[in-house]
Amino acid sequence: MARQLALLLPFAAVLVACGSDGSPVSGAPSATASSTIAAATATGGSIPSEGARTAGGATPTVSGGTAGSATASPGASSTPGVAASAATSPAVVGPRRVIDLLRVPVGDGKVSTSARAGYVWRCGGGAGGPGGGASVKGPWFNSDGTYNATAKAIVDGAIGWPSSFTASRSGSSRILTGNALPNHVTGRFPIQPSDDAYQYDRNPNFISQQTLAVTLPADPQVAAQASCVSPPFVAVLASGSVVFDALDALNRDAGAWETQDRCAGHPQRTGQYHYHTVTACVADSDSGHSALLGWAVDGFGLFGVRGERGETLTNDNLDACHGHAHEVEWDGRQVTMYHYHATYEYPYTISCYRGTPARLPATGGGAPPPRP
């Protein structure tokens, strides 16, 4: 039976209005020194169900306000690199625009050779590698170049994993280590023939633990020029798993084409579980500015979909790399700095780097952990 999915929705059918309070939410997660996030088999949290439908049949929409308040005066903080971040990332002011989640524009082919809003600047401009991707266009695609983000098939299952993840600060470095298994449940992979998702995407890969060992600048600085993104991943989330860019192996919009589990994730050919879009399985704050969800590989924070006043952001509010600068909580301090945001529209998260990306190890796979 066809099921509807809220992979992009921690809530359904809501028009988010701009709030009046521009202050960040207190108590949002921060990357404090020696913080450890580890779970054996997390089953709690707000996870969309496999049969989730839009509440009341209403059209689900999200709105973005202008980002004028993102401008911060240089020198607002003594943190190294922070003033430069604000100075080199002026506010991106766009009109108030509503994203209709029943008609999200498909990002197929939106790959650039330089920083460009609404595109992914992938190094070399090429696809992500051989194989992969959905084999059949799902019925959630509309005829006008959009897709219904609430109607995608979900991969069945609720499998727990022995996740291990640590984020710690040592001097000027932030060190992320773990086995790359998520601290939340996943679908059952490979996708089973009995799963309705199988008729669109026959992902044959098993989830397997990886060696995650990344050292990032704890106080990143904006580079003189933006740079392209490249495999294996663009960010590490607090769940212990990673974020890939918005494209599948055929340069199509992975969020539109590929089927994922209830947490918006799935494995690639070496078994690495990953997300392409925002996941509802990493806790965000309930109001005001979104919480820190994880860290880009250039060290800057990746936050959720809401801006300073609690408004739901769109591409119009962010720069070409999908970020902007204003005051946020960072390692327990309030600082004005550049940071990235997730959005409900392509390219969903980081589309190029404003800082200097860390050198990442090749994705190596590993022995599968014991299966339930």
Each residue's pLDDT tens digit, 92-115: 334 568 889 999 999 999 999 999
CA distance 228 to 357: 9
Q: Is residue 352's pLDDT more than 60? A: yes
Query: Cα separation of 179 and 242, whole Å?
Result: 11
Compute the mean pLDDT over every residue in the chain, rounded to the nearest whole number.
78
Total number of domains constituting the chain: 1
Q: What is the pLDDT of residue 360?
A: 84
pLDDT tens-digit readout, 165-223: 999 999 999 999 999 999 999 999 999 999 999 999 999 999 999 999 999 999 999 99
At residue 91 the predicted structure's pLDDT band, cuts being 50, 70 and 90, is: very low
Residue 45 has pLDDT above 70, yes or no: no
Provide the pLDDT for residue 112. 95
Which structural domain, as residue segments, surrounds residue 262?
1-372
CB-neighbour burial class of residue 104 (10 A; exposed 0-12, middle 13-18, buried 19+): buried
How many Å apart are CA 106 and CA 347, to the nearest integer?
10
Q: Higher-confidence residue: 279 or 127?
A: 279
Instruction: Look at the alpha carbons of 336, 120, 359, 37 in this order and tell me if their dihedral is positive or negative.
Output: positive
**Share above pLDDT 90 across residues of the chain, in percent, rounded to a whole number:** 65
Helical ranges in 4-139 per DSSP H? 82-88
Q: Does residue 90 carry a pLDDT above 50?
A: no
Exposed/middle/buried for residue 8 (C-beta within 10 Å: 0-12, 13-18, 19+) = buried
Distance between CA 275 and CA 267 in Å, rounded? 9
